[in-house]
Amino acid sequence: MTVEERLERIEAMVAALLDRDQPREWYSVEQFARLVGRSAFTCREWCRLGRVVARKKTSGRGAHPAWAISHAELQRFQREGLLPRQVTTSRHGLCRAMVDNASNHHEQREPT
């Protein structure tokens, strides 16, 4: 490996470290999940259910806009945890909290 190749490799590693450690204004679900130690699927569900305050991006690829989570929300989540479940009624008359409890029984377990 030449000196130039080694320098390029070191510069790429430094750039990656700087990018990782600098707070962002907005995070993708994947970035948020990595920072809080959960799966992207779980964090996406938290956004969908209103357990984490997030917005849908107006730009991007694909048929469905992606969620964006602010740095302020990341800090709030790290201090306080999830927001309480919102009890709403679906169009079928079922209480949303009951449906969530039945379908997401795995969240009731203690984190490992």
**pLDDT tens-digit map of 29-74:** 999 999 999 999 999 999 999 999 999 998 877 888 999 999 999 9
pLDDT of residue 64: 86
Q: What is the pLDDT of residue 110?
A: 39
Q: List the domain boundaries for the chain.
A: 24-108
3-state secondary structure at position 105: helix
Residue whose C-alpha is closest to residue 81's, from 52, 110, 41, 42: 52
pLDDT at 83: 96
Strand partners, 68: 28, 55
Cβ neighbours for 62, distance < 8 A, ≥ 6 positions apart: none
Task: Report pTM.
Answer: 0.61
Phi-psi region of 67 (alpha: psi -120 to 50; beta: other; left: phi over 0): beta
pLDDT in tens, 72-96: 999 999 999 999 988 766 565 555 5
Domain covering 24-108: architecture: Orthogonal Bundle (1.10)
